[in-house]
Amino acid sequence: MPADRLIDGVWEEPPGTAANVVQSYVSQLRRTLGRDVIATRGRDYAVRLPQGALDLHRFERLSAGAGAALDEGRPADASAGLRGATMLGRHVS
């Protein structure tokens, strides 16, 4: 995503230091998430996450597994899968 688009998404009227602020935030994210997670190409940024890294992907995998377990007559496994999927949403604040 171009830095200008990030700036436009954050500020209605960007300060003169907006580009530096974005760079600072990206630097903080890299320290938190890992250096290789955010790539820079010129003034563009790209987030690179491994397959299945998002809670959405985990939710989809767990809920699909629960559905399959239910179809196969394994209600206890289905229940465990759904519990795991719903627990993902409880960590969001």
Q: If we measure between CA atoms, which residue out of 65, 57, 20, 44 comes closest to residue 82?
A: 65
Segments making up each domain of the chain, as ranges:
3-47, 55-90
pLDDT tens-digit profile, the chain (93 residues): 888 999 999 999 999 999 999 999 999 999 998 888 999 888 899 988 888 778 888 899 999 999 999 999 999 999 999 999 888 877 654
| Spatial distance between the Cα atoms of 73 and 61, rounded to a whole number of angstroms | 18
Q: If we measure between CA atoms, which residue out of 55, 54, 65, 57 comes closest to residue 87?
A: 55
For residue 2, give both structure tokens: 């171009």
Distances (CA, A) of 15 to 20, 28, 75: 10, 20, 56
pTM: 0.56
| Spatial distance between the Cα atoms of 51 and 21, rounded to a whole number of angstroms | 29
CA–chain centroid gap for 91, Å, is: 13
